[in-house]
Amino acid sequence: MTPLAALIDTDRAADPESRWPRVMVDADTWLDIAAQLGAGGWTLVGLWADGQRVHMAVADDAPRPAVAVVSLDAEDGAYPSVGRYHPAAIRLERALRDLCGLRPEGMPDPRPWLDHGAWGVNAPLAGSRGEPAPSVPEGYTFLRVDGEDLHEIPVGPVHAGVIEPGHFRFTVDGETVVRLEQRLGYTHKGLESLLAGSTLDHAARLAGRASGDSTVAWALAFAHAAEAACGVAPPPRAVWLRALMAELERMANHFGDVGGVCNDASFGILNAHCGVLRERVLRAAASCFGHRLMMDRVVPGGVAVDLEDSGIITLRGLLKEIHRRLPQIAELYDQTTSLQDRTVSTGILRPALAQRFGAGGHVGRASGRDFDTRRDLPYPPYEQLRFTVPVQTEGDVNARVWVRIREIDQCVGMIEQMLALLPDSPIRVPVDAAAGALREGMAMVESFRGDVLVWLRLDASGTVARCHLRDPSWFQWPLLEAAIEGNIVADFPICNKSFNCSYSGHDL
Amino acid sequence: MRRILLESLLRRPVTDAAPKLDDAELAALAARIDVAARRRLGRSLAIREVDAGSCNGCELEINALQNAVYDLERFGLRFVASPRHADVLMVTGPVTKNMRIALERTYEATPAPKWVVAVGDCAVSGGLFAGSYACVGPASAVVPVSLAIPGCPPTPTAMLKGLLTLLRS
């Protein structure tokens, strides 16, 4: 197999110094790459368009993890489909067609994805440059399932719990799920269209609301991309405070999810205890940084608020409590047989499939995909921190719970180190959005859910010309369809919670 | 398990005291509360949450209302799984065009008397997403809103105060 570096002649890259080289390719090379993705050689990490140009971000694991972007100019509004060779690209291409109006030629699924026919515009990101796209037909055709005694259960978009909206179409044989087909796009807010034309500061606020549960990770990835585009580096203290906030966010979410999975197995006591610990983390965040979810605290050029000495004491107290309580929670989870009965061997995601779709976060790492942006595509300050990346291979609900519990433990260790090593410096430097030669930036950051990707292009005046956000959920949602197959309908909530994909981050 | 239960018995409860309600604040929150309906519903309300396109930040804080610290149920407030069991709809998000019909149908499925509470800046005014081709705008553009709880997202305490105005006679 060709290494990524050999295929991409970095001398032709837009900026050879960049961590993420981007090169123009012709249609033949594009197809070669699609075939390599289909053969499992590389991992697709993003696919988006800017005007008439299609960009594809690809990761290669060997000899060491690297990511590059290839770009192809669409001719007459069409480009060769990647989804034809690599199923993980199919939903991305359907969304790209809905938003940008570019047709993936040879793509096996002609149905729209985010566009439900209600926007009143076609291809909203194409502007006047794109060809008018065909309008979306009424209704939506779900894939046909044939067989005796099968019936369908439609669920959503409004669900029974306090969760986001989406539609699930189950085909079942008795109690057993034969197929799940998702229909998403209900929370599409036109985020990328709002980003275009925004100032950097406003765009950072928007990016921080791609998915509220990962607001720190999104704002961080956006800040990295903006700083790359403008050629500035954030001050050291800001770098450490950003990581501190990111780990608090990860911990809070993992507590919520561990409790949520147990709650879906009707084991309320663990949900109660995890819920209290989550609340402790959020209150500590509010007292240290002034916002429970730490929204708008990471900004281009640094952070918006400094950590006072009293905050350090608060955080040390929090860590002490978690250090004491986490083993109790893990023990109770592990020793409750009725709970284990629900989580062990339920909703198995096969490692080969997780690898093929490049599943990030706990979904990938519970199915043997040993990848974490913080370690494998590191950004400061993680190369100065000691931590391990928990990996399991069983791929069931239980493995996803354990990866989370072990990650919380890692977060505690990292925050302890950060509090000890926190350097002194200003917390923010000005970012001159109109300066910098490159005008383009990309970043990948590890959210609690997996790797988020931001790609940004600025115009000459320093406003955002195009910004693309790719949530880890894009590569996890399709795997949930596979993981639930053969399970009983009643186990769907627990499987779904163990994945905890974002609707908003996906729909944008 | 026994140890955790025993510890929980010996420790003081983690639940916060009920928030103090101040009249000016309540007057500002409540745009239109139907007093007659409140009498009929008594001191207990069933709430159905409808995410009409939020970023999920509001959902996180609404879920927090159910943890042991805020313990929503001690006030007679509880979340229900169906709009047909609900007295109150809590709507979040800038009402995306893709969610408009679902929100309208959820409202129609809720038996009268009923109230709609717009939760968060997006549902109150469209928030950062106002003006998008994909959003209708505030919840009040689609369903009648009785109470607005702003914030991005509102804290659980702010939501609790708002919901308690619905119960206050």
3-state secondary structure A298-339: EECCEECCCCCHHHHHHHHHHHHHHHHHHHHHHHHHHHCHHH
Residue B3: predicted pLDDT:
82
Are B156 and B70 contacting, i.e. CB atoms less than 8 angstroms apart? yes
**Residue pLDDT, tens place only, B38-57:** 677 777 899 999 999 999 99
**Residue pLDDT, tens place only, B59-68:** 999 999 999 9
Tell me what percent of the residues of chain A surpass a pLDDT of 70. 94
| Residue from the list A194, A213, A273 with its beta carbon closest to the beta carbon of B56 | A213
Residue B32 has pLDDT above 60, yes or no: no
Residue A65 has pLDDT above 70, yes or no: yes
Would the CB atoms of A212 and B59 count as touching at under 8 Å?
yes
Q: What is the residue type of A174? A: G
Residue A131: predicted pLDDT:
46
Residue A132 has pLDDT above 60, yes or no: no
Cα(A272)–Cα(B110) distance, rounded to whole angstroms? 30
Would the CB atoms of A269 and B132 count as touching at under 8 Å?
no
pTM of the shown model: 0.94
Would the CB atoms of B128 and A209 count as touching at under 8 Å?
yes
| Residue from the list B68, B83, B133 with its beta carbon closest to the beta carbon of A121 | B133
- Quick check: A210 contacting B, CB < 8 Å? yes
Q: Collect all residues of chain A within an 8 Å Cβ-Cβ radius of residue B49.
A: 162
Residue B169: predicted pLDDT:
45
Would the CB atoms of A276 and B69 count as touching at under 8 Å?
yes
Residue A64: predicted pLDDT:
76
CA distance B148 to chain A (A): 19
Query: Which residue in the block uniquely carries the two structure tokens 């993705």?
Result: A37
Q: Collect all residues of chain A within an 8 Å Cβ-Cβ radius of residue B63.
A: 162, 256
| Residue from the list B56, B67, B153 with its beta carbon closest to the beta carbon of A279 | B67
Parallel/antiparallel/unpaired status of strands B45-51 and B77-79: parallel
For the ranges A11-25, A90-104, A357-371, B49-63, the lowest mean pLDDT is seen at A11-25
- Per the structure block, which two tokens stand in for A126? 């194409």
Rounded mean pLDDT, A328-339: 95
| A249 to A356, A421, A427, B5: CA distances (angstroms) | 28, 20, 20, 28
Cα(B106)–Cα(A149) distance, rounded to whole angstroms? 31
Q: Collect all residues of chain A within an 8 Å Cβ-Cβ radius of residue B93.
A: 187, 189
CA distance A293 to chain B (A): 8
- Quick check: B97 contacting A, CB < 8 Å? yes
**Residue pLDDT, tens place only, A72-126:** 999 999 999 999 999 999 999 999 999 999 999 999 999 999 999 999 999 999 8
- Per the structure block, which two tokens stand in for A507? 């729909």
Would the CB atoms of B96 and A273 count as touching at under 8 Å?
no
Residue B164: predicted pLDDT:
86
**Residue pLDDT, tens place only, A198-211:** 999 999 999 999 99
Helix or strand run (H / E) with residue A444: strand A440-447
Q: Is the fold of A3-131 the same as that of A191-507?
A: no
**Residue pLDDT, tens place only, A148-174:** 999 999 998 999 989 999 999 999 999
Residue A442: predicted pLDDT:
95
Tell me what percent of the residues of chain B surpass a pLDDT of 90. 64
- Quick check: A447 contacting B, CB < 8 Å? no
Range list of H helices, A10-89:
27-38
Count other Cβ atoms within 10 Å, centred on residue A471: 28
- The A residues from 305 to 334 touching B (CB cutoff 8 Å) are 328, 332
Closest to A292 measured CA to CA, from B155, B14, B119: B155
3-state secondary structure A177-228: EEEEEEECCCCCCCHHHHHCCCCHHHHHHHHCCCCHHHHHHHHHHHHHHHHH
For the ranges A204-218, A231-245, A386-400, B23-37, the lowest mean pLDDT is seen at B23-37
- Per the structure block, which two tokens stand in for A470? 């790719």
- Quick check: A270 contacting B, CB < 8 Å? no
Cα(A201)–Cα(A185) distance, rounded to whole angstroms? 27
Rounded mean pLDDT, A388-397: 97
Rounded mean pLDDT, A3-29: 73
Its ipTM equals 0.93
- A52: phi then psi, degrees, rounded to nearest 5: -100, 10
- B117: phi then psi, degrees, rounded to nearest 5: -110, 120
Cα(A49)–Cα(B100) distance, rounded to whole angstroms? 28
Burial A369-392 (b: 16+ CB within 10 A, else e): bebbbbbbbebebbeebebebbbb
- The A residues from 337 to 366 touching B (CB cutoff 8 Å) are none
Would the CB atoms of B68 and A295 count as touching at under 8 Å?
no
- To the nearest 10°, the Cα dihedral for B86, B90, B94, B96? -20
- Quick check: A275 contacting B, CB < 8 Å? yes
Tell me what percent of the residues of chain B surpass a pLDDT of 70. 88
Residue B8: predicted pLDDT:
82
- Quick check: A119 contacting B, CB < 8 Å? yes
CATH entry, A3-131, from 3.30.470.20, 2.30.40.10, 3.30.460.80, 3.40.50.1100: 3.30.460.80
**Residue pLDDT, tens place only, B63-88:** 999 999 999 998 889 999 999 999 99
| A497 to A333, A398, A482, A489, B90: CA distances (angstroms) | 16, 12, 15, 14, 22
CB pairs under 8 A between A and B: 145
Domain ranges of chain A: 3-131, 191-507
Residue A14 has pLDDT above 60, yes or no: no
Count other Cβ atoms within 10 Å, centred on residue B3: 10
- A168: phi then psi, degrees, rounded to nearest 5: -120, 125
- Per the structure block, which two tokens stand in for B34? 């139907």
The domain made up of A191-507 is a member of CATH 3.30.1380.10:
no
Residue A282: predicted pLDDT:
98
Residue B35 has pLDDT above 70, yes or no: no
Q: How confident is the model at residue B29 (pLDDT cuts 50, 70, 90)?
A: low
| Residue from the list A119, A279, A504 with its beta carbon closest to the beta carbon of B97 | A119
Q: Collect all residues of chain B within an 8 Å Cβ-Cβ radius of residue A278.
A: 64, 67
Rounded mean pLDDT, A375-392: 96
Residue A62: predicted pLDDT:
72
Residue A129: predicted pLDDT:
43
Q: How confident is the model at residue A460 (pLDDT cuts 50, 70, 90)?
A: confident
Per the document, the length of chain B is 169
Write the burial class of residue A365 (CB in 10 Å: 0-12 exposed, 13-18 middle, 19+ buried).
Answer: buried
Would the CB atoms of A189 and B132 count as touching at under 8 Å?
yes
Q: How confident is the model at residue A138 (pLDDT cuts 50, 70, 90)?
A: low
Mutate to test the interface with B, among A115, A155, A158 (most CBs of B within 10 A): A158
Mutate to test the interface with B, among A140, A187, A277 (most CBs of B within 10 A): A187
Rounded mean pLDDT, A478-504: 96
Residue A399 has pLDDT above 50, yes or no: yes
What distance, in Å, lies between the first and last C-alpha atoms of chain A?
35
Residue A184 has pLDDT above 50, yes or no: yes
Residue A17: predicted pLDDT:
60
**Residue pLDDT, tens place only, A264-274:** 999 999 999 99
Count other Cβ atoms within 10 Å, centred on residue A417: 17
Give me chain A's average pLDDT, please. 93
| Residue from the list B50, B55, B96 with its beta carbon closest to the beta carbon of A212 | B55
Any residues with CB less than 8 A from the CB of A60 and at least 6 apart, and which? A3, A4, A5, A41, A42, A43, A66, A67, A68
Q: How confident is the model at residue B33 (pLDDT cuts 50, 70, 90)?
A: low
